Amino acid sequence: MNKRMKFFIKRILIIPFLISVVSCTNSKPNILIILADDAGYSDFGFMGSDEIKTPNLDKLALDGVLFNNAYVSASVCSPSRAGLLTGMYQQSFGHECNLDSDVNNSFDPSQITIAEALKTKGYNTGLIGKWHLGDKKQNHPLNNGFDYFWGFISGARNYFYNPNEESRNSIRNVVENHSKTKFDGYLTDVLGEKAINFINKNHKANSPFFLFLSFNAPHTPMHAKKEVLKKFKDNPRKIYASMMWSMDEAIGSVVDKLKENNQYDNTIIYFLSDNGAAMSNDASPFPFKGWKGNQYEGGIKTPMIMTWKNRIEPETQFDGFISSLDIFKTSLEVSGVDQSLLINADGKNIINSLNDKKVYSEDLFWRKDKMATVRSGDFKLIRLNDTSTVLYNIKNNFYEDLDLKIKQPLVHDSLLKKLSNWEKKLKNPNWIENKNWNIITEMIYEDLMNNKKIRAFSPKDLN
C-alpha cells in the first residue's frame, strides 16, 4: 500500500458529502484562495511525496476535500490566473497566451473579477503576491476589484530584496498599492506576514474578506533560506524542497491566525497550483506525461484542496472533474452575489457537485495558440496545428502514450467536433507568445504525441 493510500485510508471515496445546510452564523464566509506557482503535481505530502515536505498543507487536506481530478484552465501562469479570477475560459476574451511583454499585452479590465463581484456584498478584498496580468494603469489590481495590494506586477522576481534589481526592472518591484516598497528577509515569509496583517485588519473591523494569496514559490529564480537548505541538505532537490517548505510554513501561519481569531470555521479556503511542473525549477510532473506549457496531464492537472469547517465533510476525496474556473461561481453563490454577475461564468458551484449523489462527467477545454485539447468523460483529444490529433482514454491510460484515434474513430470525431464548437465561441488571441518559444512548444508537442525523445526544452536548445 503506497503512502497516499495510507494517508487517506479513513477517507470516504467518491461519495456525496454531508454539507451542513444549517449555518452556525449569519455572517458571509471569508474566502481565501492560496495559489502556488509552477509546483509539481505530486510534490506535496498530501499527494504522497516523501521527498517534498508540506505538513501544514497535509493538515489542511485532512480538514476538507481533496480533488483527484482538478484542472487549471491553462498550462502557463498568466492565462491561468485570468481564468481563475473571472471564472471564464480566458480565451473568450483573448487572454490565451502567456504575457511575453507587459508593455504590449494585458488583462482585459472590462471583465468582472471575483474581487469586483464580492465587493458588491461588502467584502474587503486583497491581493498578496504575484499579479502577472499586465502593467498598464487599467490592469492594476486596485483597478480590478482589489482594495489592497502588496506584491509585484511581473511574473517572477528575486526572493531576497536587491536594490539593484528594483531599479533595473520596475515591474519586478514590490509595491504596496501603487507605492514602491522594500522588505526584509525571505519574500515567501513576508507574503505570509502580509496576509496575516490583512486578515487581522478585517477581523478587527468585523468585515468579511476575500484574499488572493498568490505565492511566486516555487517559480524560478531558485532562492531559499540558508537555514532551510540545511534541513534539506541531503535532498536531491534541496532548493526546490526548501522553497516548498517555506511556502508551507507561511500557509500554516495564515491558517493558525484564522483559528486564533475564530475565523477559520467561517472561511472557505482553496489551495491549488497555477499550472503543472516547470522544467526550470526541479518540480516533478509524476506520475503524468507533460509539464508546464503543454496540455498533457502534467501541464494542466493540479493538486487542489477545499476546506470549509462544519460545511464540508473532512477527510474526503472527490473524483469528479473540477476546474479552477469553478472557484469563481462557488464563491459568489455562497456569498449571495447577484446572479447577473455570474451569467458569463463557465465554471460550476463545487458545493452543488459535492452534494450530488453521482459523479457527473463534463467537458473541459484548453487552447494556447496552435495547441488545443478537450477532455470528455474518460477520453481526451489533443490537437496540433489543425492537422495532428491524438486520442487517449485517461482512465485506462493516464500516461497518455496509447493513441486510440484509429481504433475509436467515432469517439475521436465526436471530441474533435466538441472542440471545434467550443472554439467558435472564442476570440482570436490578443497576442501570441514569443516566436522561438512557439517553435519549441510545437516541437515538444510533436515529440510527446509520437512518444519520442524530447528534442528541445527551451529556445537555448536550438543553438
Of 24, 95, 97, 132, which residue is the catalytic one? 132
Active site residue 223: no
Residues 6+ apart with CB under 8 A from 226: none
For the record, the C-alpha cell of 400 comes out as 497518455
DSSP 134: -
Please report the beta strands in 331-412, taking only residues with DSSP state E, as ranges in sequence order. 363-368, 371-376, 379-384, 388-393
CB 426 within 8 A of CB 92: yes
Is residue 379 within 8 Å of residue 415, measured between CB atoms? yes
Within 10 angstroms of residue 133's Cβ, the number of other Cβ atoms is: 27
Distance CA 269, CA 14 (A): 21
| Cα distance between residue 5 and residue 2, in whole Å | 5
CA-nearest of 208, 215, 449, 245 to 335 is 208
Q: What are phi and psi of 371, to 5 degrees?
A: -115, 130
Specify the amino acid at residue 119.
Answer: K
Q: What single letter denotes the amino acid at residue 305?
A: I
Taking the CA atoms of 433, 134, 165 and 228 in sequence, report the sign of the dihedral they define. Answer: negative
Say how far apart CA 109 and CA 167 lie, in whole Å: 28
Helices (H) and strands (E) in the chain, counts: 13, 17
Distance CA 346, CA 209 (A): 24
Q: Note if 178 is an active site residue.
A: no
Strand, coil or helix: what is 163?
A: helix
Q: Are 71 and 364 in contact (CB under 8 A)?
A: yes
Q: Give Cβ neighbours of residue 2 (< 8 Å, ≥ 6 apart).
A: 48
- Range list of H helices, 120-180: 163-168
Torsion angle defined by CA atoms of residues 79, 80, 84 and 88, in that order, rounded to the nearest 10 degrees: 50
Cis peptide before 287 (omega within 30 of 0): yes
Taking the CA atoms of residue 450, residue 452, residue 456 and residue 458 in that order, the dihedral angle to the nearest 10 degrees is 60
**Catalytic residue numbers?**
77, 132
